[in-house]
Amino acid sequence: MAVVGTKRSGKTTTIENLTKELTKRGYKVAVIKHISEPDFTIDTPGKDTWRYAQAGAKTTIIAATNETTTIEKTTINPPLETLLKKCTNNDIVFIEGMKKIVAQNKKIPKIAVVKSKTEAENATETYKPILAFSGPYNTTTRYPSILYANALTNPQKLTDTIEKTTFKK
């Protein structure tokens, strides 16, 4: 499920609130966050993992008591399918970012987080299918056939819809 919207629309908070609600209900949640800054790195210059990469390591696995992470050095953005394969032990995966990839992919339902009428209009033109609208702009009157549930203030309503459509309980 993709959570789409403009910068600072509330996408991250929406995913955070839905994740809290879904995990409370017993589901395992994964999140894929795409970062578009070309020079972004989670590695810190001078730290061991950075030094390994400088020496030529393409993959570094960091294992600690409470978490394990893998840093894979790449020259291109990995395909969405590759990232999704890393999430197979989860019940649901939220995708934030990768707008061009998810926009017209009809297999990926979208939650459009919108702050204005213009953003809602743009979302309906850009993203298919939209499972629900969320965010500060209430779309109920303008798009009555698409659920509006503000996950920023009432994540339970949107979680109920996700549960019904995704898990078909």
Q: What is the CATH number of the domain that holds 87?
A: 3.40.50.300
Structural domain boundaries enclosing 69: 38-76
Cα–Cα distance between 51 and 59 in angstroms, integer? 12
Query: Could you tell me if 123 and 150 lie in one domain?
Result: yes
The residue among 153, 159, 148 whose CA lies nearest residue 1 is 159
Segment 15-44 mean pLDDT: 92
Count of Cβ atoms closer than 10 Å to residue 48 Cβ: 11
Residue 48 is predicted with a pLDDT of 93
Render pLDDT for 55-83 as a digit per residue (tens, 0 to 9): 999 999 999 999 999 999 888 888 999 99
Residue 40 is predicted with a pLDDT of 83
Render pLDDT for 94-121 as a digit per residue (tens, 0 to 9): 999 999 999 989 999 999 999 999 999 9
Confidence grade of residue 37 (pLDDT, cut at 50, 70, 90): confident
Q: Which of 18, 49, 76 is the last residue of a domain?
A: 76
Segment 88-93 mean pLDDT: 96
% of residues, the chain, pLDDT over 90? 82
Confidence grade of residue 12 (pLDDT, cut at 50, 70, 90): very high
pTM: 0.89
Residue 169 is predicted with a pLDDT of 55
Confidence grade of residue 168 (pLDDT, cut at 50, 70, 90): confident
Query: Could you tell me if 134 and 86 lie in one domain?
Result: yes
Question: What value, to the nearest 5°, has the Cα angle with vertex 162 and ends 151 and 147?
Answer: 65
Query: Could you tell me if 68 and 139 lie in one domain?
Result: no
Q: Which of 17, 50, 76 is the last residue of a domain?
A: 76
pLDDT averaged over every residue in the chain = 93
Query: Could you tell me if 125 and 55 lie in one domain?
Result: no
Cα–Cα distance between 30 and 121 in angstroms, integer? 29
Q: Residues with Cβ < 8 Å from 146, sequence gap 6 or more? A: 124, 130, 131, 132, 133, 139
